[in-house]
Amino acid sequence: MASNNRKKNVRKTYNREKKDTSTKYNKPTRLLGLTVLLVVLMFTLVFRIGWLQFVQGASLKEAATKQQTTSRIISPNRGSIYDSTGKPLAISANVDTVTINPQKFIVEDSPEETVNLQEKVSKAFSEIFELDYEEVHNKVISNSSIQTIAKKVEEDKINKLKDWMDENKIYAGINIDTDTKRYYYYSNLASNLIGFCGDDNQGLAGLEYYWNSVLTGTPGKITTSQDAAQDIILNDNENYIPAQNGSNITLTIDYNIQTIAEKYLKQAVADNNCGRGGNIIVMDPSTGDILAMASYPDYDLNAPFSPNESMSKDWDGLSQTAKSAALQNMWRNPAVSNTYEPGSVFKVLVSAIALEENLVETDTPGIFSCIGYQDIYGTKIKCAKTSGHGYQSLREALEHSCNPAFMQLGAKIGKETMYKYFDAFGLFDKTGIATSGEAVGSFHTIDNVGPVELATISFGQRFTITPLQMITSVCAIANDGVLMQPRIVKSIENTDTGTVTTVEPQAVRQVVSSETAEQVRSMMESVVVEGGGRYGQVKGYNIGGKTGTSEPSPGKEEEGYVASFLAIAPVENTKVAVLLTLYDPDESNNYGGQIAAPVVAQVLSEVLPYMEIPSNDTTITTTPTDSYNSLQTKSLPDVKNKTVAQAQKILEDAGFKYDTSAAADSIVSEQVPKPGTQLVNGAVVKLYSNKNSDRISVEVPSVKGLTGIKAKNTLLNKNLNVKIVGSGKVVSQDPIAGTKVEEGSVITITLQEELDSGSH
């Protein structure tokens, strides 16, 4: 029993020792396992770091850089357009474009906060930029990566946006990028020539389009880092590529001449109800410089997608396709892009060809016969004077604009010779003027020119050319037979370096001899002095010219007639040529000699003195008289610094009327017109004092077609004064009808005698 107890105790002791031994040896094993685990983790971490550093390091760095880096385009300044005197016609000013990244307005795991933020941003944009809230909100909640909120934004609105962003601590997702906006100083001036730019500052029409690569420049770029608030993080990785600004261009167009031309063109279109408007070109024959080029109706360059006045009344009823077509037509430059049948103006070129070929002389009597029509192989083609002009020399035929005489002359020349000179005058090709949309004329192929076709070509019908081609070819005659390429851009200035490149005048070829050119100019002068161009006379200057009246081709009767007049001045050493073309004038009078010539004369009467071309007559203004001597003029006395009562007596004694609201004892501070002005008897003089200086404006009435007496009375009834040049009936007035002027202003009216209806 005792023995058994001892065995049990020994066994217990053994088991306890065994258990202690197990525990003793288990601890190092666990430590070893833990150590191995730590080593593995450490190795994994080192491996991962190494992998990220050496294997994926480049790509991860690139991704991080992309997240922190912002790249912004630096828009170049678009070059300006100036007239020849340095007046700015088109300039660009700095503005901003606002865009957004809609995804930046999403708050993770919070739809409610997202909606609130999107609504808040949408409301701010719509209020600051005066936009429709729904349209803006649709952009803010869109899935697009970028949306444009507002383009070409002025500085004051950008400042409001920045203040709002600072106040609300909202920066992410709103981008403000510098941009430029195109401004046109004179809105409608030379609009069809200059053209305009789109929202992206790229030229879309006219000179803006043709010279776009020169004007637009090259964009730059700045790449840098920014934080979440879009503040710049300064570091050494900034990359700056400067923009190359566009070059300035200076035109040959003279603002003053352009203004004069547009003023009278607009009045001519209105006075003659020209259904398809009109255009005018003023050119220097010796250089090819375009001094003015205008079309009417025109449009506002600052709002080119809005219909002009003539289109607006029917605009709302047009389809989108029709609106697009109407705008395209409004933007066209008819002087360059449209063709027409030139009519009798073309007889100048036919005369030059015949003289150059020694087929005729200018003053050989009776070499042409006109009985009122010409029979061309059974086809009777009428003359404007149906009773006929009888026997004529070439000079007389040009004065009378006799179609039969030129049909006979064309037969003498022949189609081969005729076409050879047409090619030399540049009529088969574009002139090469540096603007967009230039068209070229359309002629019969020489094989299809029969006797009838040759006859109609000889007096300027049944083929088409552009107005620019017409005036350019006649300018060759004004330039001693040398054809010049039309020049519209005078110089180009690199705005970054200041370097100026001159665009030199380009002589194309000698078309006819200087002797032939001189003979033709002499006949053109006779047309104005003795023939159908008498309304083209300008007192004090030798003017040469030719009238044109072309009827529509068969099947195109709806296009109506085209009336035109081309003038050169002076006849010798010509400095300026003018071509006025009126499309679809009123049927009651559509002769170029009667409706176009006086307009050109009025243009030249202002342009020639402006160009400082000396007059050959020191008594420019005539003093016409009638049986009542009521149109005789006197010099207006100076009544300033006298009392109103004294001034009234002086004026009455001189044969003038007065108009004033000033008290009799007040002192005259100003009088309208100015002292020394030549005024007709009964003219009204406005008197003003320092206490009574309110001015009244009146609209100038139309007096075209009236006699001098009636015109005078019409103007005096409006408290307007009159200066009269010439005798007969009024053919033009300055200022034009509809102009607002101050009471007492002087309106110059030009009178001329009626022309023979056989001249056109």
CATH at residue 143? 3.90.1310.10
Whether the ω angle into residue 297 lies within 30 degrees of 0, i.e. cis, is yes
Measured distance CA(113)–CA(293) in Å, rounded: 61
Mean pLDDT, rounded, for 217-222: 78
Long-range pairs for 166-171 at CB < 8 Å and ≥24 separation?
168/120, 168/124, 169/229, 170/117, 170/120, 170/121, 171/228, 171/229, 171/230
Mean pLDDT, rounded, for 36-65: 70
pLDDT digits (tens, 9 = 90+) for 680-729: 777 888 898 877 767 888 899 998 888 887 788 788 888 898 888 877 88
Containing H/E element for 684?
Answer: strand 684-689
Which of 201, 221, 251 delimits the end of a domain?
A: 251
Lowest mean pLDDT among 88-102, 232-246, 703-717: 232-246
Q: Would you call 545 exposed, middle or buried from its count of C-beta atoms within 10 A (0-12, 13-18, 19+)?
A: buried
Instruction: Decide if pLDDT at 157 tops 70.
Output: yes
**For residue 422, which of 518, 325, 342 has the smallest C-alpha distance?**
342
Angle between helices 467-478 and 347-356 (to 10 degrees): 40
Domain count, the chain: 4
* The pLDDT of residue 548: 97
The most distant pair of C-alpha atoms in the chain lies apart, rounded to whole Å, by: 180
Residue 671 belongs to domain with CATH number: 3.30.10.20
| Contact by Cβ (8 Å): 639, 670 | no
**17 within a domain of the structure (yes/no):** yes
The token pair that represents 231 in the structure block? 């503040």
Which of 225, 251, 277 delimits the end of a domain?
A: 251
**331 within a domain of the structure (yes/no):** no
Containing H/E element for 619?
Answer: none
Instruction: Decide if pLDDT at 336 tops 80.
Output: yes
* The pLDDT of residue 237: 57
Q: How many CA atoms lie within 13 A of 742 on its CB side?
A: 14
**444 within a domain of the structure (yes/no):** yes
Contacts of 298 (CB under 8 A, 6+ apart): 188, 191, 192, 262, 308
Contacts of 103 (CB under 8 A, 6+ apart): 143, 145, 173
**For residue 443, which of 434, 424, 456 has the smallest C-alpha distance?**
456
**For residue 120, which of 65, 152, 165 has the smallest C-alpha distance?**
165
Mean pLDDT, rounded, for 520-529: 96
Contacts of 426 (CB under 8 A, 6+ apart): 469, 472, 473, 483, 508
Containing H/E element for 99?
Answer: strand 88-100
Instruction: Decide if pLDDT at 425 tops 50.
Output: yes
Measured distance CA(341)–CA(559) in Å, rounded: 11
Dihedral, 392, 394, 398, 401 alpha carbons, nearest 10:
50
Determine the length of the chain: 760
Helices (H), 439-586: 451-458, 467-478, 514-529
Q: What is the DSSP letter of 552?
A: P
* The pLDDT of residue 479: 98
For residues 240 and 216, state if they share a domain.
Answer: yes
* The pLDDT of residue 228: 47
* The pLDDT of residue 376: 96
For residues 447 and 559, state if they share a domain.
Answer: yes
* The pLDDT of residue 229: 46
Contacts of 427 (CB under 8 A, 6+ apart): 441, 443, 465, 469, 473
* The pLDDT of residue 498: 92
**155 within a domain of the structure (yes/no):** yes
Measured distance CA(12)–CA(507) in Å, rounded: 131
Q: Would you call 54 exposed, middle or buried from its count of C-beta atoms within 10 A (0-12, 13-18, 19+)?
A: exposed
For residues 605 and 645, state if they share a domain.
Answer: no
Q: What is the DSSP letter of 40?
A: H
Assign 60 a pLDDT band (cuts: 50, 70, 90): low
Contacts of 68 (CB under 8 A, 6+ apart): 225, 226, 227, 233
Lowest mean pLDDT among 136-145, 237-246, 350-359, 519-528: 237-246
Instruction: Decide if pLDDT at 17 tops 60.
Output: no
* The pLDDT of residue 63: 56
Mean pLDDT, rounded, for 31-49: 76
| DSSP letters for 313-382 | HHHTTS-HHHHHHHHHHHH--HHHH--B--GGGGHHHHHHHHHHTTS--TT-TT-EEESSEEEETTEEEE
For residues 479 and 367, state if they share a domain.
Answer: yes
Instruction: Decide if pLDDT at 21 tops 60.
Output: no
What is the SS3 assignment for 508? strand
Residue type at 471? Answer: I
Instruction: Tokens 């090709």: give the residue.
Output: 429
* pLDDT, the chain, mean: 87
Percent of the chain with pLDDT over 90: 58
* The pLDDT of residue 623: 36
Q: What is the DSSP letter of 52?
A: I
Around Cβ 56, how many Cβ atoms within 10 Å? Answer: 11
**333 within a domain of the structure (yes/no):** no
**For residue 464, which of 548, 348, 351, 342 has the smallest C-alpha distance?**
342
Q: Rounded to an integer, what is the distance from CA 456 to the centroid of its chain?
A: 35
For residues 448 and 576, state if they share a domain.
Answer: yes
* The pLDDT of residue 223: 64
What is the SS3 assignment for 738? coil
Instruction: Decide if pLDDT at 2 tops 60.
Output: no
The token pair that represents 138 in the structure block? 């649709």
Contacts of 505 (CB under 8 A, 6+ apart): 287, 288, 289, 484, 485, 487
Mean pLDDT, rounded, for 24-32: 65
* The pLDDT of residue 716: 83
* The pLDDT of residue 630: 47
For 332, list phi and psi in degrees, rounded to 5.
Answer: -65, 155
Give the domain extent around 114: 70-251
Instruction: Decide if pLDDT at 467 tops 70.
Output: yes
**303 within a domain of the structure (yes/no):** no
The residue among 227 and 669 whose pLDDT is bigger is 669
**194 within a domain of the structure (yes/no):** yes
For residues 486 and 568, state if they share a domain.
Answer: yes
**328 within a domain of the structure (yes/no):** no
For residues 515 and 388, state if they share a domain.
Answer: yes
**For residue 379, which of 346, 404, 415 has the smallest C-alpha distance?**
404
The answer to whether the Cα torsion of 383, 385, 391, 392 is positive or negative is negative
The residue among 561 and 220 whose pLDDT is bigger is 561
Assign 628 a pLDDT band (cuts: 50, 70, 90): very low
Which of 210, 226, 251 delimits the end of a domain?
A: 251
Percent of the chain with pLDDT over 70: 88
Mean pLDDT, rounded, for 363-378: 95
Lowest mean pLDDT among 23-37, 105-119, 437-451, 733-747: 23-37
The token pair that represents 141 in the structure block? 């909640």
Instruction: Decide if pLDDT at 619 tops 60.
Output: no
In DSSP terms, 502 is beta-bridged to 491
Mean pLDDT, rounded, for 593-612: 95
Residue 468 belongs to domain with CATH number: 3.40.710.10
Measured distance CA(536)–CA(491) in Å, rounded: 34
For residues 583 and 673, state if they share a domain.
Answer: no
For residues 74 and 48, state if they share a domain.
Answer: no
Measured distance CA(487)–CA(75) in Å, rounded: 30
For residues 355 and 210, state if they share a domain.
Answer: no
Q: Rounded to an integer, what is the distance from CA 322 to the centroid of its chain?
A: 23
Measured distance CA(625)–CA(155) in Å, rounded: 63
For residues 584 and 451, state if they share a domain.
Answer: yes
Assign 346 a pLDDT band (cuts: 50, 70, 90): very high
* The pLDDT of residue 235: 54
**For residue 647, which of 710, 712, 700, 692 has the smallest C-alpha distance?**
692
* The pLDDT of residue 45: 77
The answer to whether the Cα torsion of 27, 28, 29, 30 is positive or negative is positive
Assign 109 a pLDDT band (cuts: 50, 70, 90): confident
| Contact by Cβ (8 Å): 259, 189 | yes
Instruction: Tokens 């020209």: give the residue.
Output: 274
Measured distance CA(699)–CA(79) in Å, rounded: 39
For residues 738 and 602, state if they share a domain.
Answer: no
Instruction: Decide if pLDDT at 51 tops 50.
Output: yes
The residue among 316 and 24 whose pLDDT is bigger is 316
Lowest mean pLDDT among 131-135, 459-463, 532-536, 624-628: 624-628
